[in-house]
A = this chain, B = another copy of it.
Amino acid sequence: MPLLRFDLIEGRDKSSLKKLLDVTHNVVVEAFDVPQQDRYQIVHEHPEDHMIIEDTGLGFKRTKNLVVLSVTSKSRPEEKKQKFYNLLAERLESECDIASTDLIVSIVENDNADWSFGLGEAQFLTGKL
């Protein structure tokens, strides 16, 4: 269920993009303990001047490789969110050559009634999920 929106600067080749999505999904599964097929990913690629991403004074130098990841999810404990950030930064660096200073994540939470995955049903309410 988490729905992931990736905002990227355009220019990645198809296989790099695929790798980024696959690696991220594996981290979602591992950190949030969701089923393997709980995968909902949307990518937006932007011209460089359509993303202005600074660093709140933290001293990070952003590059064109940056990944802004917006996650919509049911409530998750703090520890799992931290595990998610950690693991994702580590794996994107080791597997996708994306510096951990190029990863920005923002999570928004919602509730059981806020999801329908098909058939017009709210599967978290009907007990199907």
Contacts and interface: CB of A to CB of B under 8 A. Distances in A.
B78 A57 contact: no
Contacts of A87: 120
B105 A56 contact: no
Residue with the greatest number of chain B CB neighbours at <10 A, chosen from A46, A56, A78, A88: A56
Interface in A73-104: 78, 81-82, 85-90, 100-104
B115 A58 contact: no
Total identical chains? 3
Nearest to A91: B120
A14 to B, nearest CB: 6
Interface residues of A, number: 69
Nearest to A102: B118
A23 interface: no
B56 A129 contact: yes
Nearest to A123: B58
Interface string A7-39: 100000010011001000100000000111111
